[in-house]
Structure 1
Amino acid sequence: MFKWLSLIAGLFYIVLGIVVMIYRFFFTILDPIIAYALGGVFALYGVFRIYRAISQIKKSKDEE
């Protein structure tokens, strides 16, 4: 269950990163450079979580 929740959280972080880059807002108005940097960090973390969740799902299927 945790693996699938991690996959959903990764998708959420990617969407959050895109929203921060487009609207340049995260609890306050951001400068464009900071908005792109923060959005990029969110998106990269989302990709990392998805990669880790997929690798754990594949690993658990191989053990069965």
Structure 2
Amino acid sequence: MMFNWLSLVTGIFYIVLGIVVMVYKFFFTILEPTIAYPLGGLLIIYGIFRIIRAVTRIKKSKDEE
């Protein structure tokens, strides 16, 4: 159960990181806009995926109880 909540928090972290990469164009080094936007978008999509997966697992575990 704790893993599901941790996965939810991690998804939020990935979304924030994607936004930061897109706004500041920085990810361990200065990025060109042609790299920063796709990388930021990919991080946001992965964060959304993690959140959806965590929410479905939390709902599934509550239904089993």
**TM-score between the two structures when normalised by the length of structure 1:** 0.98
Please state if 1:31 is matched with 2:32.
yes
RMSD: 0.4
Offset of 1:33 from its aligned partner? 1.3
Moved over 3 A (4+): none
Aligned letter for 2:63?
Answer: D
Aligned letter for 2:35?
Answer: I
* Distance in 2 between residues matched to 1:19 and 1:4, nearest whole Å: 23
Identity of aligned residues (%): 72
Question: Which sections of structure 1, spanning at least 5 residues, go unmatched?
Answer: none
Partner of 1:17: 18
Aligned letter for 1:33?
Answer: T
Partner of 1:42: 43
* Distance in 2 between residues matched to 1:28 and 1:12, nearest whole Å: 19
* Distance in 2 between residues matched to 1:5 and 1:27, nearest whole Å: 24
Partner of 1:56: 57
**TM-score between the two structures when normalised by the length of structure 2:** 0.97
